Amino acid sequence: MKQEQIQELSIIELKDRITEESQVLSKMVFNHTVSTIENPLKIRSTRRAIARMKTELRKRELTSTAN
């Protein structure tokens, strides 16, 4: 997920996407532990996408409390 797409989401949508992507990540990690998955770099990209969404959410929380 690109940064521009993340910035377009509302706070509620961001929270929903974070939980969805976290569940997907945990399933991918489990599947990779049991047997190697086809594209292990997908784990890294998912983890980074979650980090980007959490960063955007935190930035919005800070700007809303600063005002």
Number of structural domains the chain divides into = 1
Q: Which residues of the chain have pLDDT under 70?
A: none
pTM comes to: 0.90
Residue 39 lies in domain = 3-66
d(CA 67, CA 26): 36
pLDDT at 47: 97
pLDDT at 22: 98
pLDDT at 1: 77
d(CA 37, CA 18): 22
pLDDT at 48: 97
pLDDT at 66: 79
